Every structure is written in C-alpha cells, then in structure tokens.
C-alpha cells in the first residue's frame, strides 16, 4: 500500500504562527482579566477641592498640642488663654501652648464658652455645667431630655444660648440655668423654617453687636434671631464653589471676630472662611481643604482676643493657629 505523506508548503510560516499564537496566549494570560474601574465608577473629589486652591492672606502660624484625651471642645479667653475640653478633663493652655492647669470634670465637654466673669460653661451631651476655673468648683444645671445632644454654647449678657442638635433647637437659658425660651423650631406662623441637623453639628454664636446667629447646617446657611425667638434674617448658600457651603450639612462651626466678621468652618471638605454676616457675602479663605486630611471634621473653632483663628483638629491632635499674614509680619517686626 502506498503511503500518503503530507508536507507543509511553508513550514517556517506555520512555525511563526504557532509561536505568535502561543506568545499572545501567555501575554493575555499574564495580564489581569479584570480591568481597573473607569471614570464612571469613581468619585473624584479633586475637582471640588480645586475650588479652594486659591491664594490666602492667612497662614498657619503654630500648633498648640493639648494632652487631654479625645479633645472635642475649644474656647479662647480674653488674655489669650486657650481652653481645651476632652475626656473627663479641661486643660488650660497659655497662648504659646504651655499647660497652665488641668481640671478634672465629670464627662466629656462637646462645647464650651467663657463667661465675662471667667467661668467656663461646658456642654456635655444633655447637660450644662458651670466650671469655676479658679477653684475647680462645678455647678450642674438640670439635665435636658435624653434625646438632647448639646453641640454649642454662647453667652450674651444675662442669656446663655445652647445649641441642641438632638432636638434641633437653640435653648435660651438665664445665667443660673433657668430655661427662658426655645429658638429655631419650625413655626410657619412666624416664618421660621426650622433647624435641620442631619449630623451632630448645630453651632450658635453672638456677634459683637449682640445678635444671635445660628448655623442651620441642613439648609447650608445661617439664621439670626431675636431673644424672643423671632427670625430676623437668614441666608443659605448650598454650593460646591468657594463662596458657598458644600456637602449635606454645613457650616459645622461658626465664630465671630471682634470686627463682626463671621468665621465659618465646614466639615467633609474642610474649609475655614470669612463672611460678611449680614449680607452673607463671602470675603476670604483662611484655610483650604488641602491643609486638612480627607473626609475629616474639625472638632471646634474659636477666635481669640488677638484675632487668631483657632481650629481644633483631631487628626493632628492640635489646636491649629491661623493668622493674617500682615498681623504676623507686624508682630515679627515689633521691637521686643
């Protein structure tokens, strides 16, 4: 029987094809079968952070490092003294950050303010305590209801205003702790839209002319009230741009400078800014989000007697001090 022998016409071509196919197989095998997620599956916050990438006339001039555990509350005295409240303790620091005193308290203050007489009013979840810094004596006010979550406290004259984020209300007390009124609750008859606090941030501050201003974080703006709870004015600025308040609920913290300018601090994309409070006009950036870790919230904000803006930053466990560049230069060139 005659055998049939088949031979390739171009064996070298077949060989090359086999080598190429084999190489391609191994290259594809070596590469990941899973592509990395494309832009449609990613949330890029860089473009929002770009909004505050502008030149600021403020600069960070120092950091005070409190040694209290879990610092949450901050207050500044007229002599430059800084008070930091943490777990079961209030620490008193001099303007350079050196510890002056440490006072044990029952609980963790979430906010505090200084009375004109030099006592500290501490807000601790659902109660207020008055701490005499001199002899460390404490006077407790009656407890609020279980739902209360005190986030801010401010003193003006004979009134004490307490921001309660749990009940979404500002409570007006006398200096001895007697409740005198409730401010900010929804009341269509008085054109009060109601305070919204989706997260535990509801700050109050009294400006130098004596007007109470309340941050309404859920509406991304501010409201001012009379002592009797009447709404005077309000402005809201929800925006991802620098002149507005970003996120679901901002500003998280407010404070006033001696010249009546409002200092605000936002959470999430942390930005410290200055506004004209009556018109709601954005004026200046103090510190942008690039100076703060991503998705962090600062714990408290204060302005001291020298006009320094103090930010309690839990990430660095520090009170970060921001000053106008001109102020810093003036002080640097002053004769000793």
Partner 1 sequence: MDESKKIGRRDFVRGAAAFALAGGTWAAVGTKAEGTVWQLDPNKCTQCGRCATHCVLNPSAVKCMNQFNICGYCDLCFAYLHPGSRERNTGAENLLCPTAAIERKFIEDPYYEYKINEDNCIGCAKCVEACLVFGNGSFYLQVRQDVCINCNECSIAKACPSNAWSKVPASKPYMFITGETPPGQK
Pair of tokens at residue 307: 């006009």
| Site for partner 1 contains 251 (CB under 8 A) | no
Give how far Cα 263 sits from Cα of 168, 219, 300, 325, Å. 22, 18, 12, 17
Closest-CA residue to 117 (of 87, 147, 78, 151): 78
CA angle 327, 331, 334 (to 5 degrees): 140
Q: Which stretch binds partner 1 (CB under 8 A): 41-49, 95-103, 174-182, 326-334?
A: 41-49
Instruction: Please list every residue from 260 through 289 that binds partner 1, using CB under 8 A.
Output: 268-269
Cα distance between residue 336 and residue 334, in whole Å: 6
Q: Give counts: helices (H), strands (E), the chain.
A: 3, 24
- Of 196, 231, 242, 291, the one binding partner 1 (CB under 8 A) is 196
Closer of 12 and 43 to partner 1 (Cβ): 43
Closer by beta carbon to partner 1, 32 or else 332: 32
Cβ(256)–Cβ(224) below 8 Å: no
Nearest to 168, CA basis, from 145, 143, 191: 145
Candidates 8, 27, 28, 42; binder of partner 1 (CB under 8 A) is: 42
- Given candidates 218, 229, 244, 251, which one binds partner 1 under the rule CB under 8 A? 218
Residue 12 interacts with partner 1 (CB under 8 A)? no
Q: Does 43 bind partner 1 (CB under 8 A)?
A: yes
Calpha distance 184→214 (Å, rounded): 8
Shortest separation between residue 22's beta carbon and partner 1, angstroms: 25
Candidates 42-50, 129-137, 171-179, 323-331; binding stretch for partner 1 (CB under 8 A): 42-50
Q: What percent helix, strand, coil does the chain show, rounded to 5?
A: 15, 40, 45
Of residues 71, 247, 251, 288, which one binds partner 1 by CB under 8 A? 247
Q: Which is nearer to partner 1, 196 or 291 (CB)?
A: 196
Alpha-carbon distance of 83 to 235, in angstroms, equals 31
- Closest contact distance (angstroms) between CB of 198 and partner 1 is 3
199 binds partner 1 (CB under 8 A): yes
Question: Within 290-329, which residues bind partner 1 (CB under 8 A)?
Answer: 294-295
Q: Determine contact, residues 286/273, Cβ cutoff 8 Å.
A: yes
Task: Point out which residues bind partner 1 (CB under 8 A).
Answer: 32, 34-37, 40-43, 45, 48, 196, 198-199, 218, 220, 238, 240, 246-249, 268-269, 294-295
């Amino acid at each position: 029987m005659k055998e049939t022998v088949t031979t390739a016409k171009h064996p070298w071509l077949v060989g090359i094809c086999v080598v190429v196919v084999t190489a391609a197989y191994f290259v594809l095998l070596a590469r990941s079968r899973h592509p990395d997620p494309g832009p449609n599956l990613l949330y890029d916050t860089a473009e929002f952070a770009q909004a505050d990438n502008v030149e600021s006339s403020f600069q960070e001039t120092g950091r005070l490092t409190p040694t209290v555990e879990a610092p949450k509350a901050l207050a500044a005295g007229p002599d430059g003294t800084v008070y930091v409240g943490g777990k079961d303790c209030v620490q008193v620091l001099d303007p350079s950050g050196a510890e002056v005193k440490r006072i044990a308290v029952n609980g963790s203050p979430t906010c505090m303010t200084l009375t004109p007489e030099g006592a500290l009013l501490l807000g601790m979840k659902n109660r207020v305590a008055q701490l005499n810094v001199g002899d460390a004596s404490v006077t407790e006010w009656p407890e609020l209801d279980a739902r209360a979550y005190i986030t801010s406290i401010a003193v003006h004259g004979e009134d004490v205003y307490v921001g309660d984020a749990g009940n979404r209300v500002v409570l007006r007390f006398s200096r001895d702790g007697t409740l005198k009124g409730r401010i900010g609750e929804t009341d269509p008859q008085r054109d009060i839209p109601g305070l919204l606090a989706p997260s535990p941030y509801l700050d109050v501050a009294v400006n130098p002319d004596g007007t109470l201003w309340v941050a309404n974080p859920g509406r991304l703006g501010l409201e001012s009230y009379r002592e009797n709870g009447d709404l005077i004015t309000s402005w809201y600025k929800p925006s991802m741009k620098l002149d507005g308040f970003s996120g679901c609920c901002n500003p998280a913290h407010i404070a006033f400078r001696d010249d009546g300018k409002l200092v605000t601090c936002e959470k999430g994309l942390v930005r410290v800014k200055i506004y004209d409070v009556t018109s709601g006009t954005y004026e200046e950036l103090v510190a942008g989000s690039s100076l703060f870790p991503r998705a962090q919230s600062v714990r408290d904000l204060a302005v001291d007697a020298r006009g320094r803006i103090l930010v309690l930053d839990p990430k660095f466990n520090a009170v970060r001090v921001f000053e106008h560049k001109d102020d810093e230069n003036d002080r640097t060139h002053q004769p000793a």
